[in-house]
Chain A
Amino acid sequence: MIELKNIFKWVNQGANKTFLLRDINLTINEGELISIMGPSGSGKSTLLNVIGMLDGFDEGEYSFMGNSVKGLKEKQRSQLYKEHIGFVFQAYHLIDELTVFENIETPLLYQDMKSSERKALVADVLDRFNIVGKKDLFPTQLSGGQQQLVGIARALIGKPKLLLADEPTGNLNSKQGEEIMELFKKLNKEDGVTIIQVTHSEKNAEYGSRIINLLDGRIEK
């Protein structure tokens, strides 16, 4: 599904190049649950952003589901987001002015789906995540764990094949974190969603089928 070959990414600091990613070679197949670990500044988030096409890279090749990512237009990229990728963030990034229901519904709006279909899909997800009772509340009225649940629900509503999660439990207490991880596991097993998560916690990483350790932008073997 994802193939990274000799990926380099750097920033110029004066005359020196500071490498964020060095020679990353990585293949991820459909159905994997991968945890990316490493100390702060090791390039975990950068790698995830490159995989999610939120960030570019300077050298190497990246093909996503058979398409070369380099030189994708905005339209093609947003098409990929819509069809295949869901994002989950540490800071949830819900739209404060929208209710839970509306937040989850928003991605579908960009896919030109009929209202009735949208309603059905959102209702489904709400049901699955046990947040039906919260559907008319605003993000600020929810706890962190609940907000992250909504964030995940939003990421999943478009039925993506790939879920990218940047420290999804970083802002949550351990019990909430555990619930989220259980959810990921379930999604991975039952729905076959490929999940890549960045995490600090050994315990959370254990949920994955594979752990990738990064140090100074390099994959540790």
Chain B
Amino acid sequence: MLKNYLIVAWRNLMRNKVFSFINIFGLSLGITSCIFISLYILEEISYDKHWKNADAIIKINWEETGNGITDPYAVSAFGTGPSLKRNFPEVEEFLRIMPANNLTVSYNNKYFNENKNYFVDSTFFNVFNYELLYGDSKNCLREPNSIVISEAMAAKFFGKNNPLGLILKYPKNSYKVTGVIKETQQKSHLSPNALLRINYSDKEIIEQQEGWLWINTYTYLKLRTPLDAVAFDEKLKIWAKKTLEPVLKKENVGYKIELKSKVVSQVHFDNYHADEFEKSDKSNVYFFGLISFFILLIACFNYMNLSTAKATKRAKEVGMRKVIGALRKEIIFQFLGESFIISLISFIFSLALLVIFIPAFNALTSKNIIFLNILADFNFWAISLLIILFISFIGGSYPAFYLSNFKPIHILKGNLNLFKSPILFRKIKFRQLLVVAQFAISIIIIIVTILIYDQLKLLKNKDLGFNKDQVLVLRMPGLDSLGNTKVSSLKNELLLSPLIKKFSTANQIIGVEGNILFRTKDKGQMGQSSLNVNSGDYEYLDLLGVKFVEGRNFSKQITGDGNNFIINEAAAKFLQLKNPLSAELGWDEQHLGKIIGVVKDFNYNSLHTKIDPLVLALRNSVGLYALIKLSSDNVKQSVDLITEKWKVFFPQNPISYFFMDEGFNKQYSRDDVMLIIFVCFAGLTILISCLGLFGLASYSTEQRTKEIGIRKIIGASVTNIIKLISIDFLFLILVAIIIASPIAYFFIKSWLQNFAYKTEISFWAFLLAGILTICTAFLTVFYIALKAAFTNPIKNLRTE
């Protein structure tokens, strides 16, 4: 029996090669994109789930609320962890992490700038059970000045040798390698390159122990039982009241502090805290899942559509089988089996597509997926099976459940009966519905893609209120005591060259350095506010080309500017200063400085956010960055010069730089990826939809050959015929456009909520998407219409 079904299925496939190709190719594309997205989603949701007792590992976040404004931080005060452990018996362990980037590390004569150096407590491996390649995870962080490094970093410095006991030099200290972390495929929001034991006897660290208002530490706790967030947050409230409130009172700080717990597996999706290690958007996961489902659905629609087109023929078979004794369930089984075979074949093709597209996928999502690893992954097979079953069921449902229900008498009495019955009328409507649905989905995605493109163009081209062009940014390594003089020598050397226009140092380039509680004094009235602060040297604002509304820039000629501040317009407005230049500002009440200038608002953050109040302070030491304004377009020559001079002053620190405009655009890299993914989706959906349209058009034209023949004989021109065939389909596309437009509008509107600066949702995007789709659809149908129009009518009629 099975063999009989298989034979029929296979011969049907081979006989209708075009249809089979359309079905299988479309389904393969659908399956491939579905698998890719599933892999992406699976990986996204796997973050930090693999730790031992993962649901008992939590992260403590910190919220400061004052003047009705809440500032959330992913970091907390240094003393938080130990104090919580002392106060709550359910806390088994605490762990603090203080990350540092761009530190020059050396061994013998090898110098590298290393990122993701985490200064951690000795309890690190009690909380996160990384596997070690070398060393003993229980004891490796016990001694001060011990360091555990990643396998990659070990390879970079020591090759394949066992590095235990060797010494790595960091800017401020030297560390003995006591362990190497084994590379893992498991995903975590943490990705340490090096773990350095916090030196508890360090002066700076000791100072921080009781500094409750100085927050710079990522605090993790390991609980004895899985986290009950509501109950635990309640306890954190009590703790904050007991421990923090007296401090706030004593320091006369007007805001409240609240601590929030978050289970570690959710940290990866934490978009709320700007200072979190790594951010990913959970809505993307849902969203891509939805889209892949739709792509699969579109491919299934093709299959359903083409099977309805072939229905008359298959109906005869169904009738005959019933008459010779087949039960309805046997017919259902046969058709579902057939679609199962088709989806299985499509799956095999999609494996080939996977191999082809994995590199592109990896590049796009910066993931590291390897085909052979996928094949060994249980999840992959589970998902594939699910997809295959889904397609089999959806794709095969029409013939299986609809055709099997026909009474054989209706089918077998005469071939033409089926055409006249109202059943066919319903079926045509059903087919049209599928086409409309397919194209509506495609058009939505196209419109959204166009508007995302518009938005990104706006972001990248918007006037930010300062000049980011031709600014090279040097990342400063951790400098020793001579660093400041060296930097000013470097500056003087460089400014001698006509290639270099300006040189400045600052602590933050994009974004903000910190958010600090400021005391204000206006017309004798004291006040306090948390404000964003950035700092740079005398040339900083000049180099950026920030415009002054009133007042002046910091000046070397005027003494005492180190204590003064410049604010932006937003800050003046926020602080309600009528005459900002007469107001005073400072870190503490005893040492207030003057506001010497007000600058025009500029976008120091990404355009996702609006311009917040900002205080600009003068730095007397070199910050994390040096900004160099180049004077000509000859970038290469300038970079060579800077590199050459850098080597003179910092021979042991590899140079590390980027261009400010690129750095700025990098903030939108996630949006860029989103755009590329959308372009892919749009291409895919339209391709699959057109495949289906092609199949359907060719079938319906075949059905109408006689009609076309007669029309030609009575004088229809080629144009008439083409119009006759195309018009039906174009009408469907038109309906699809009408349905798709409002949906796309609402979707893009909600997406734009992520940005403070939004592109206008222009009518043109909709028109363009419509024209694009109609043209593609017309080209698809045109070929078939042309073929029909040029066929000799006699030939058509003779075959009837």
Contact = CB atoms under 8 A, between A and B. Distances in A.
Interface of A: 45, 49, 54-55, 74-75, 78-79, 81-82, 87, 89, 91, 93-98, 102, 105-107, 109-112, 154-155, 158
B11 interface: yes
Given A91-B415, A110-B325, 15 more contacts: A49-B413, A54-B409, A55-B409, A81-B323, A82-B324, A82-B325, A95-B8, A96-B317, A106-B321, A107-B324, A110-B1, A110-B324, A110-B330, A111-B325, A158-B325
Contacts of B322: 78
Given A91-B415, A93-B319, A109-B4, A49 B409 contact: yes
B407 interface: yes
B89 interface: no
B15 interface: yes
Contacts of A93: 316, 319-320, 412
A131 to B, nearest CB: 18
B267 to A, nearest CB: 58
B761 to A, nearest CB: 52
Contacts of B7: 97-98, 102
Interface string B485-508: 000000000000000000000000
A97 B11 contact: yes
B68 interface: no
Nearest to A94: B320
A158 B325 CA distance: 10
A106 B11 CA distance: 16
Nearest to A157: B324
B414 interface: yes
Contacts of A78: 322, 325-327
Contacts of B319: 93
B324 A81 contact: yes
B330 A54 contact: no
A75 B327 contact: yes
A118 to B, nearest CB: 10
Given A106-B321, A109-B1, A97 B326 contact: no
State the majority secondary structure of interface residues on B: helix
A154 B412 contact: no
Contacts of B412: 54, 89, 91, 93
A84 to B, nearest CB: 10
29 contacts: A45-B413, A49-B413, A54-B409, A54-B412, A55-B409, A81-B323, A81-B325, A82-B324, A89-B412, A91-B412, A93-B319, A93-B320, A94-B320, A95-B317, A96-B313, A97-B7, A97-B12, A98-B8, A102-B7, A106-B321, A106-B324, A107-B324, A107-B325, A109-B1, A109-B4, A110-B1, A110-B326, A111-B325, A154-B324
A78 B321 CA distance: 10
B254 interface: no
A74 B412 CA distance: 18
A74 B327 contact: yes
A193 B671 CA distance: 78
A93 B324 CA distance: 11
The 9 A-B residue pairs with the shortest CB-CB distance in the complex, in nearest-first order: A82-B325, A107-B324, A97-B11, A54-B409, A110-B325, A81-B325, A109-B1, A97-B8, A93-B320
B328 interface: yes
A126 B636 CA distance: 87
Contacts of B317: 95-97
A91 B324 contact: no
B408 interface: yes
A45 B409 CA distance: 11
A164 B527 CA distance: 103
B408 A54 contact: yes
Nearest to B415: A91
B688 to A, nearest CB: 27
- The CB with the most chain B CB atoms within 10 A, among A75, A93, A102, is that of A93
Contacts of B325: 78-79, 81-82, 107, 110-111, 158
Nearest to B8: A97
Nearest to B11: A97
Contacts of B324: 81-82, 87, 106-107, 110, 154-155, 158
A98 B11 CA distance: 8
A106 B319 CA distance: 13
B366 to A, nearest CB: 49
Given A45-B413, A54-B412, A102-B4, A95 B326 contact: no
A105 B321 CA distance: 12
Nearest to B1: A109
Nearest to A87: B323
A81 B4 CA distance: 20
A123 to B, nearest CB: 17
Nearest to A55: B409
Contacts of A49: 409, 413
- The CB with the most chain A CB atoms within 10 A, among B320, B325, B330, B407, is that of B325
Contacts of B8: 95, 97-98
A125 B190 CA distance: 76
A73 to B, nearest CB: 10
